[in-house]
């Protein structure tokens, strides 16, 4: 593989790094202002749309109840469980809901008693935060590795509003 020559860094001094951090901070502030303005506009639009939608939602609910009432009263006229209309379909479908008591532990105990373990979900996963506290030899013995790297970070200094109560 051919070696590549590193170009000279564009920043030549710590003062230039400091100036770059100032520019980053200023750009972050501008982005936050833009995003805050965007968020406010989105919230205003959502609020306006919600207000405009109220009469339509109310009308839909009222019409749904009327359609349900009519179809329920005339269920015998359905061919099968539904009826195709010009602007949609109406009908009934069987739905089954499983209801369990609030004491789930009691249900689990009873399922185990009757040998119905396939109805119990048990999820196992590795807790990486705890495993990371073990020594490297132990981690290697269970098939893990520790990847250590020196990662770059930076933060910009920001002035915060002081609390007048302080």
CB-based burial label for 109 (10 Å; 0-12, 13-18, 19+): exposed
Q: Is residue 166 predicted with pLDDT exceeding 60?
A: no
Looking at the structure, tell me whether residues 104 and 142 fall in a common domain: yes
pLDDT digits (tens, 9 = 90+) for 46-76: 999 999 999 999 999 999 999 999 999 999 9
**83, 90 contact by CB (below 8 A):** yes
Tokens 């061919």, located at residue: 79
Domain count, the chain: 2
Looking at the structure, tell me whether residues 76 and 35 fall in a common domain: yes
Looking at the structure, tell me whether residues 85 and 108 fall in a common domain: no
Supply the pTM of this predicted model.
Answer: 0.54
Residue 119 carries which DSSP code?
G
**Domain final position from 66, 95, 124:** 95
Domain region containing 25: 13-95
Looking at the structure, tell me whether residues 85 and 102 fall in a common domain: no
């Amino acid at each position: 593989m051919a070696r590549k020559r590193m170009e000279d860094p564009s920043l030549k001094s710590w003062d230039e790094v400091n100036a770059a951090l100032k520019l980053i901070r200023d750009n972050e502030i501008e982005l936050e202002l833009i995003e805050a303005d965007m968020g406010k506009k989105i919230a205003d639009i959502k609020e306006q749309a919600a207000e405009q939608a109220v009469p339509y939602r109310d009308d839909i609910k009222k019409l749904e109840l009327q359609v349900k009432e009519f179809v329920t009263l005339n269920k015998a006229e359905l061919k099968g469980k539904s009826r195709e209309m010009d602007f949609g379909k109406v009908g009934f479908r069987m739905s089954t809901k499983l209801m369990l008591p609030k004491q789930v532990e009691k249900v689990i105990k009873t399922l185990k008693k009757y040998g119905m373990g396939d109805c119990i979900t048990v999820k196992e996963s590795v807790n990486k935060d705890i495993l990371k506290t073990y020594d490297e030899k132990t981690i290697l013995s269970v098939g893990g590795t520790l990847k250590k790297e020196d990662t770059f970070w930076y933060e910009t200094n920001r002035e915060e509003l002081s609390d007048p109560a302080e």
